A = this chain, B = another copy of it.
Amino acid sequence: MKKVNVVVVGASGAVGQEILNILSERNFPIENLKLCATSRSAGTEIDFQGRKYRVEETTPDSFTGMDIALVAGGKASVEFREAAFARGCIIIDNSSNFRMDPEVPLVVPEVNPEDVKGHKGIIANPNCSTIIMVVALKPIYDAAGIKRVVVSTYQAVSGAGKEGIEELTAQTKAVLEGSEYPPNKFAYPIAFNLIPHIDVFQEMDYTKEEWKMVKETQKILHDSEIKITATTVRVPVYRSHSESINIETKQKLTVEKVKEILSQAPGMIVQDDVQNKNYPMPLFTSGRDEVFVGRIREDNTIEKGLNLWVVGDQIRKGAATNAVQIAELLLQYNCLMEKR
């Protein structure tokens, strides 16, 4: 396979580091690798496949000679979009900046891989909770159609980056020692608590995180008619988001059929043998690239109802893995840009 030049922007953060792990694990065909970050992190050194790389401050020239920029988050995709485009470098953007831009494909490779072909220099990686949900919804959507989804999330602190992880650890220790660790990254203490508030509040008193799950799912499925209502909650778990998903399908599906469909779906693992206490849990799905589904039940309060419990590592499949999979699609479909 042809090797390409890759720049990782935001390489020192939680998602950036995971992107590097995944590029390495998947043997992504890299010719030259460049690591960039904001001036605050520039100068640090990061190991990749046994070689040390110095993190540079991101500038327009960071994209010169590069084929693909994997942007971990933040404002970099806005700041450097034109610079990257002018140099023929495609941005795969993990931030929310361009997700709802009708010109920008929003891609989950298991769901809408072909959408990468329409890119105009930038492809957006969806929100982590959206990715995890839509991987589970797609096979059901294809088999029976989906009318409505009611989802409640249980989201890990690493969704808020390294600082979220550190705050949970330090605060939990403080509680156990009887001392204080005031909240900083989160609005309230997260140790032994739940916070029903992720990202800012928007219209109808839903949070931005909740609206992302609605609007991004509609865009990824190319279906503005699918109805989704979400409640998103931060929980004191380090890693992997969990989701309780209630689905009303258009055609009736038996539980057996749903299990069969999901077992055969790409990127999914069915863990559903309740007599042997087999169901997905965030502690055991972390570090994995698949989305796990269990507690698959008929919801007999409606004619065509289902309940699922879905868990996935939101830093891997919910962010880094999905971004690297998009990069793989770019090579597979041969739709890189001309370097300029």
B275 touches A201 (CB 8 A): yes
Cα of A260 to Cα of B277 in the assembled complex, Å: 43
Residue of B nearest to A188 (CB): B281
Q: How many residues of A contact B (CB 8 A)?
A: 56
- The answer to whether the Cβ of A302 comes within 8 Å of any Cβ in the partner chain is yes
Verify A231–B274 contact, CB threshold 8 A. no
Shortest CB distance A312–B (Å): 13
Cβ < 8 Å to B, chain A residues 248-297: 255, 272, 274-275, 277, 279-283, 294-297
State the Cβ distance, A279 to closest chain B Cβ, in Å.
5
Q: Are B231 and A295 in contact (CB under 8 A)?
A: yes
- Would A294 and B229 be within 8 Å (CB), given that A169-B176, A201-B274 are in contact? no
Contact status B193-A283, CB under 8 Å: yes
Interface membership of A233, Cβ < 8 A = yes
Query: Lowest 4 CB-CB distances: which A-B pairs, in order?
Result: A227-B301, A152-B244, A193-B283, A152-B152
Give the B-binding residues of A (Cβ under 8 A): 148, 150, 152, 154, 168-169, 172-173, 176, 187-189, 192-197, 201, 204-206, 227-229, 231, 233, 235-238, 242, 244, 246, 255, 272, 274-275, 277, 279-283, 294-302, 305, 307, 309
